[in-house]
Amino acid sequence: MRLHREGTPTILLITALVAFGIFTLLRWPVLPNVLGVLLGSALVTVLLIVIWFFRVPKRSQPNDPNGIIAPCDGKVVVIEEVHEPEYFKDKRRQVSIFMSPLNVHINYYPISGTTSYYKYHPGKYLVAWHPKSSTENERSTVVANHPVHGEVLFRQIAGALARRICTFTDVGRTAVQGNEFGFIKFGSRVDLLLPLDARIEVDLGQTVTGASTVIARFKDRS
């Protein structure tokens, strides 16, 4: 199993803490054997969970020029028409995907094209499903311009556990559907802001797979 490069510092730190904890337990003779084994097992379990969090799954490269694919793994928690105030400043169809700490936290380009906008916003750490998290939490906004269908906005949003958003793109960079554009450490959410005429292909509460599940389809412009 390959691990994401963003996990290296965290994994090394947790490994050192777990090793120190186990060493301390072994040097503490007054501790009952059963309790020592339980505490040691709990420390190892924490390390395994952290390693699992930073896993990099194998995903086949999508090729769906009319489709808008899931930018991350998780559950669809919002499907609604909203006013988008940052970039479009008009009404859009919003689809939001919540990632639990056990989901893969890699973020993928939902469409191919060119990055036309990128901005990082520091902010709060409200729970990711809070209605105001889209506008008040730490977040990173990216817009990709499809050569035929126009622009789609996708926003990485930090959650109550997340403290670092990583975005690997900039204005003018080529966006390739299904390629990685970012990573969010621990619980978080990704919003998609789509054209009003996009046909939504998922349901509220549905579990989706990044770089695989089709979230919506562009209106046919042929």
Q: Does a structural domain hold residue 111?
A: yes
Range with the largest mean pLDDT of 22-36, 95-109, 143-157: 143-157
Is residue 133's pLDDT more than 70?
Answer: no
Q: Which amino acid is present at 171?
A: V
> In the beta sheet, which residues pair with residue 55?
3
pLDDT of residue 210 exceeding 70, the answer is yes
Phi and psi at 79, nearest 5°, equal -140, 105
Contacts by residues 171-176 (CB-CB < 8 Å, ≥ 24 positions apart):
171/115, 171/116, 171/117, 171/118, 172/114, 172/115, 173/114, 173/115, 174/113, 174/114, 174/115, 175/109, 175/111, 175/112, 175/113, 175/114, 175/115, 175/144, 176/109, 176/112
pLDDT at 54: 83
Bridge partners, residue 118, by sequence: 142
What is the pTM (predicted TM-score) of this model? 0.85
Mean pLDDT of 117-141: 75
Are 107 and 6 within one domain? no
Surface-to-core class of residue 55, CB atoms within 10 Å of its CB (0-12 exposed, 13-18 middle, 19+ buried): middle
Tell whether 222 is covered by a domain: no
Confidence at residue 127, expressed as pLDDT on a 0 to 100 scale: 62
For residue 47, give both structure tokens: 């390390």
Rounded Cα–Cα distance for residues 90 and 82 (Å): 8
According to the model, what pLDDT value does residue 101 have?
Answer: 80
pLDDT band at 130 (very low <50, low <70, confident <90, very high): low
Which pair of structure tokens corresponds to residue 23? 């060493």
Provide the pLDDT for residue 16. 92
In the chain, the percentage of residues whose pLDDT exceeds 90 is 52
Check pLDDT > 60 for residue 87.
yes
pLDDT reading at 125 higher than 70:
no
Choose between 188 and 186: higher pLDDT: 188
Any domain includes 211: yes
SS3 assignment, position 169: coil
> Does the pLDDT at position 153 exceed 90?
yes
What per-residue confidence (pLDDT) applies to 172? 95
Pick 122 or 95 by higher pLDDT.
95
Q: What pLDDT was estimated at residue 206?
A: 98
* Known catalytic membership, residue 112: no
Tell which residue, 146, 145, 172, 169, has the closest CA to residue 156. Answer: 169
Burial of residue 86, with CB atoms counted within 10 A of its CB: 0-12 exposed, 13-18 middle, 19 or more buried: middle
Q: Provide the pLDDT for residue 164.
A: 77
The sheet with strand 139-146 has its strands ordered as 174-175, 113-121, 139-146, 150-158, 188-194, 90-99, 74-84, 207-208
**Rounded to an integer, what distance in angstroms lies between the CA atom of residue 104 and that of residue 2?**
12
- State the residue range of the domain holding 22: 2-56
| Residue 170 included in any domain | yes
Mean pLDDT of the chain: 88
Task: Quote the number of domains for the chain.
Answer: 2
**134 and 189 belong to one structural domain:** yes
**40 inside domain:** yes
- Domain of 162, CATH number, reads 2.70.70.10
Q: Which residue has the higher pLDDT, 52 or 85?
A: 85
Task: Tell me, yes or no, whether 186 and 106 share the same domain.
Answer: yes
Catalytic residue among 96, 133, 134, 188: 188
